Structure 1
Amino acid sequence: MLGRKTPRRSSIGYRPIGPSDLEILQQLHADLFPIRYEPEFFHNVVNRREIISWGAVDRNRPNAQSDELIGFVTIKIVLARESEITDLVRFDPTRSDQSLVYILTLGVVESYRNFGVASGLIREVTRYAKTIPTCRAAYLHVISYNTPAIYLYKKMSFTCVRRLYGFYLIEGQHYDAYLFVYYVNGGRSPCSPLELAVCAVNYVRSSLKSVAGRLWRYDVKKPWRWTKCKDNCGLVTPSQSKRNLVNEGSNDFQCV
């Protein structure tokens, strides 16, 4: 199945994954991923137990295969306050209902790659996330050597916000992962690179004004003031230059 040629004219459609897709879903995960998933995971997907999914199909395939999966994406809704990216999403901690969409798995049959199938599946996810008023972002992890996936998520406007060292353990070997986030419904990083730059500039300006004022008035030196970045994203000391501040922010919130 994976090796056969794709018809030149295909009509890709997207639909929920159901019980009849169990066998092919298991096979696709085994073929596409180095990680093995428990049977319970697949049963939860097809029976929609806390997992939401979309399958991609090619309507132009022969009748027996026109509804067979050639791609899939699975997601789960998680509470923002209980997620691992609480520090990366601007949300109201007093509201316990604010949520996130976590992309569990995404895959496309090899012969259907580069036809926009994965992009279509991601669009299904982001559109769905936007329809949830309490949702602030969709996020996922991708193994560091998966260059095509990294390129795809960047193309789809996901932001790489963090590198996680040794995140995956595959056959006894650790691999790094990148954390990607797609903000929706007003959710965004609590301190973006632009805000860090503005914070640094404001700090330099206020410091220069403070020094000039003391020199002019011959006042006794006063302790340096801490400058707080917008929305509590960090504190700046006088020993931190503008360049250092921006670089530190980039390492924390931007994939380099």
Structure 2
Amino acid sequence: MVNPKVSRHPTICYRPIRPSDLMILQQLHADAFPIRYESEFFQNVVNARDIVSWGAVDRSRPNGHSDELIGFVTARIVQANESEIGDLLSYDSAKSDQTLVYILTLGVVDTYRNLGIASSLISEVIKYASNIPTCRALYLHVISYNIPAIHLYKKMSFKCVRRLHGFYLINGQHYDSYLFVYYINGGRSPCSPLELVTVAVSYMRRGLNSVAARLRKNEEKWPKWAKCKESRRLVGTQGRRNLTAECTGCECV
């Protein structure tokens, strides 16, 4: 696929992916990913069979290309209790209707990158998932060397919760994957042992600071004294500055 030229002020719009997008969708995936997807996957996307999708188009493109995809995102609804992030989600396991949205693929044509299109596509998925009362989170995988994608997900408040070693096998070589989660509709991460320790330490620190503050307040109510070894007499602290200068053999306590 030849990258289209971008007008100075492109008019980007978003719509569901349709059967007429099949060929361009296959080409965009081939250009964007080292992994090859089965034809069944694309058929499921364009026919909305168990997969939801959004496409980005540039309405300002001439010569009949104004409805041609220049970006895409695909996702699937999964059951929370059957997902790989069940241990990373605090939810009522007794409710079997709890769901998640798994983002499958995301891509933008090279010449249209850095225009906020990927962020907008992800926002479409977040809006969709947020309108599902039973949905508690979105999640996705990203290959470890895809730094721009990692920065994008962090910028959009996704949490990197796990590194999966050797998750991808590409041309006979294994690559790690990062697992990102975005919590919605009251979904949250369960408290880890480290989080519990952090909270306990925080409470203890606040308690100690409170005790120290009270002790300092009580000390201020009583006169303080300086003890001079040479004279063996007590001197009020009001004269402490002069005492230091005048009595060179004194130890002040």
Checking the alignment, whether the CA contact within 8 Å between 1:75 and 1:103 is kept in structure 2 is yes
1:5 positional shift = 2.9
Tell me what 2:157 maps to.
157
Amino acid in the other structure paired with 2:82: E
Checking the alignment, whether the CA contact within 8 Å between 1:136 and 1:186 is kept in structure 2 is yes
Tell me what 1:81 maps to.
81
Checking the alignment, whether the CA contact within 8 Å between 1:162 and 1:180 is kept in structure 2 is yes
1:55 positional shift = 0.3
Checking the alignment, whether the CA contact within 8 Å between 1:2 and 1:111 is kept in structure 2 is no
Tell me what 1:59 maps to.
59
After superposition, give the CA deviation of every residue in 1:83-140 in whole Å (9 maximum; x if it has no partner).
0000111110000000000000000000000000000000001111100000000000
After superposition, give the CA deviation of every residue in 1:156-204 in whole Å (9 maximum; x if it has no partner).
1111011000000001000000000000000011026655510455689
Checking the alignment, whether the CA contact within 8 Å between 1:141 and 1:177 is kept in structure 2 is yes
Tell me what 1:179 maps to.
179
Tell me what 2:168 maps to.
168
Query: How many residue pairs were aligned?
Result: 206
Checking the alignment, whether the CA contact within 8 Å between 1:2 and 1:109 is kept in structure 2 is no
Structure 2: runs of 5 or more not aligned:
207-253
Identity %: 70
Tell me what 2:238 maps to.
none
In the alignment, structure 1 residue 34 sits paired with structure 2 residue 25: no
Tell me what 1:198 maps to.
199
- Whose RCO is larger (CA < 8 A, sep 6+)? 1
Tell me what 1:107 maps to.
107
Quote the RMSD (CA, aligned, Å).
1.9
Cα separation, partners in 2 of 1:59 and 1:125, compared to 1, 3 Å: same
Structure 1: runs of 5 or more not aligned:
206-256
Checking the alignment, whether the CA contact within 8 Å between 2:3 and 2:109 is kept in structure 1 is no
1:145 positional shift = 0.2
Cα separation, partners in 2 of 1:41 and 1:72, compared to 1, 3 Å: same
- Give distance in 2, aligned partners of 1:196 and 1:112: 46
After superposition, give the CA deviation of every residue in 1:22-66 in whole Å (9 maximum; x if it has no partner).
000000000110000000000000000000000000111115111
Checking the alignment, whether the CA contact within 8 Å between 1:103 and 1:138 is kept in structure 2 is yes
Query: Secondary structure of 2:136's partner?
Result: strand
